[in-house]
Amino acid sequence: MLRRAGVVGDPAAHSLSPAIHRAGYEAHGLSWAYDAFTVPPDELEPFIAQRAGDPAWAGLSVTAPHKEAALSFGEADEPTRLVGAGNTIVFGPGPRVYNTDVPGFVRAWRARGLEPPRTAAVVGNGATARSIVLALAGLGTREVTVIARDPGRASALVELIRALGLAAAVSLLGEPVESVDLVANTIPAAATEPHAQSLAGAGRVVFDVVYDPWPTPLGRAASAEGVVALNGLDLLAGQAVDQFYLLTGHTVTFDACRSAAERELRRRGAL
């Protein structure tokens, strides 16, 4: 029987997950198919229910805007519950929902051989920002500043930071940023462009969740400042390691996942 998996989002055609997972199938000689599915929010429940009831389907990767809704489709692991968002649904008699972005960021950070960040500034306050905060707690971070376009909407993220035992502060995007070990951006590149130089100058390391096209304004500013820069490809590869294992029971490496993503971007002319 041909096994199946895929990524669901709105949109999903841009996703690099098919390239990563298919490369893993090829490496292991697995007869699996993996496709991208654009599904609007009001069609998500029947889409998942149909596949969850099909024994050929192992599960789904979940991307925006469905990560919060993913919690409705199975028993959530602890990172998913803490973040309030999941990116992997594993089908079966007892469907489970996982957030592999959290260990994925830790894996991406360690793959670069970087020292643990004691202080960080996180731009944005959505699901990816919450995942990064949880990952930072695991890396030993002690202080996190949330940089928000609307500080009034950052309260839930601040509560999570404090619940994890970390010191929290909130700053308006555009205000001066104190020096930190990490500046992590989770909002669109266009929104950071006017502030890219000051953000890059404040961090020992910069992470920008955006990777297509790369470099982003923040990535260019980091290069000009001589600052180490990670991007969304690092997070994508890092989270795919656990996700691939959860769906198939087989292992892949961070480097293999990142290489597969880079090859696909080059094929698209985006690198």
Kindly name the residue from 51, 67, 195, 258 that is annotated as catalytic. 67
> Residue 169 phi/psi, 5° resolution?
-145, 160
Angle at 22 between CA 18 and CA 25, to 5 degrees: 150
In the DSSP assignment, the letter for residue 118 is: S
Q: In what order do the strands lie in the sheet with 119-123?
A: 167-172, 143-148, 119-123, 180-185, 203-208, 228-231
CA distance 153 to 151: 5
Q: What is the separation of C-alpha 225 from the centre of its chain, rounded to a whole number of angstroms?
A: 25
Encoding tokens for residue 65?
């805007």
Which residues does 264 contact at the CB level (< 8 Å), separation at least 6? 16, 19
Q: Is 67 a catalytic residue?
A: yes
CA distance 87 to 105: 13
Enzyme catalytic residues:
67
